[in-house]
Amino acid sequence: MLGNGWRLVLLPWYEHIGGQVKQAGVLHADETGWRVNGRSVWLWCFTTKRATYYMIHQSRGSPALSQFFTTAFDGVLVTDFWSAYNAVACTDRQVCISHLLRELVAVDEHNTSSGWCQFSKKLKRLVRDGLRLKRRDDISLETQTRRAKRITDRLTEQVEWESEDKDVRRVVKRLRKHREAFFAFLDYKDVPPDNNHAEREILPAVIMRKNSLCNQSARGADVQAILMSIYRTVNLRGIDPLEAIVSALREYVRTGSLPPLPGK
């Protein structure tokens, strides 16, 4: 593991990655449990197609997000349904439709009441109609807009659904809370209907957590976040991460200056 001196050398790359992801038009975010010196903390992942920024923080809520989003985010934030993201000031939000579909299927396995089955069937059909519309590239913008409006109108019907079934009431509550973020992907060409990218980018950290037992100190956690951010970002750009880091450190030793982050 790099010592504190090399952490400071690579810090400009880490800060540059953070600045890049904050300037993206579409930003994916996710978080997972972590441990530092035996204490539970959280590893946050903010990622785009070209950069991934990890941050280890004691909070899973607004304190961590306030530290990352120091200003309003001028783009679309794609996340799961974790309520802390609702406090982020951004141009628009998209919640992960895949999470919703998986939940509906899971509840189908144990809840066979007529109230739930009717609600679940209608909501799954609505979501899948939205996904099919997203994939259509053979219709005019006018037709796309008209069909998108029909889908959002149908969502309003689901939001107003009345039922005594506890699962229906729970999902309806979620729909009401996130109704503006369900079909944002229909309004933006580059916004996906799911948060799969963030889940893929946080997976290496999950694997590392199992193998390394996280970090034994706060300084180690800082180094971890810096190295993982650089490694994943350079990897996303099709460059060998180890070779890039070693080459940069050699140049720093030779010239006293860190070269630009590869693959800008």
Q: Do 109 and 220 lie in a common domain? A: no
Whole-number pLDDT of residue 49:
96
Question: What is the value of pTM for the model shown?
Answer: 0.93
Q: Is residue 261 part of a domain?
A: no
Q: Which long-range contacts (CB under 8 A, 24 or more apart) does 132-136 make?
A: 133/186, 134/185, 134/186, 134/193
Residue 161 lies in a domain: yes
Domain end marker among 133, 151, 186: 186
Same domain for 168 and 220: no
pLDDT at 1: 45
The dihedral region occupied by 192, where left means phi > 0, alpha psi between -120 and 50, and beta the remainder, is: beta
Domain count, the chain: 2
Q: Are residues 88 and 135 in the same domain?
A: no
- At residue 208, the pLDDT reads 85
pLDDT, tens digit (0-9, with 9 covering 90-100), for 98-116: 999 999 999 999 999 999 9
Same domain? For 119 and 146 the reply is yes
Residue ranges in the chain whose pLDDT is less than 50: 1
| pLDDT for position 168 | 97
Q: Do 39 and 11 belong together in one domain?
A: yes
Residues 205 and 174 in one domain: no
Q: Are residues 214 and 89 in the same domain?
A: yes
| Structural domain of 39 | 4-93+195-255
Q: What is the pLDDT of residue 202?
A: 96
| Domain at 230, CATH number | 3.30.420
User: Strand runs (DSSP E) across the chain, as ranges?
Assistant: 26-36, 39-47, 52-57, 73-79, 90-95
- Asked, for residue 264, whether it belongs to a domain, the answer is no
Residues 182 and 204 in one domain: no
- Distance, in Å, from the CA atom of 167 to the CA atom of 163, rounded to the nearest integer, reads 9
Question: Is there a single domain that holds both residue 9 and residue 61?
Answer: yes
pLDDT digits (tens, 9 = 90+) for 20-79: 999 999 999 999 999 999 999 999 999 999 999 999 999 999 999 999 999 999 999 999
Q: Are 167 and 116 in contact (CB under 8 A)?
A: yes
**Domain's final residue, options 168, 186, 204:** 186
State whether 89 and 8 are in the same domain.
yes
Structure tokens belonging to residue 55: 């941050």
Final residue in a domain of this structure, among 154, 186, 218: 186
Q: Are residues 76 and 143 in the same domain?
A: no
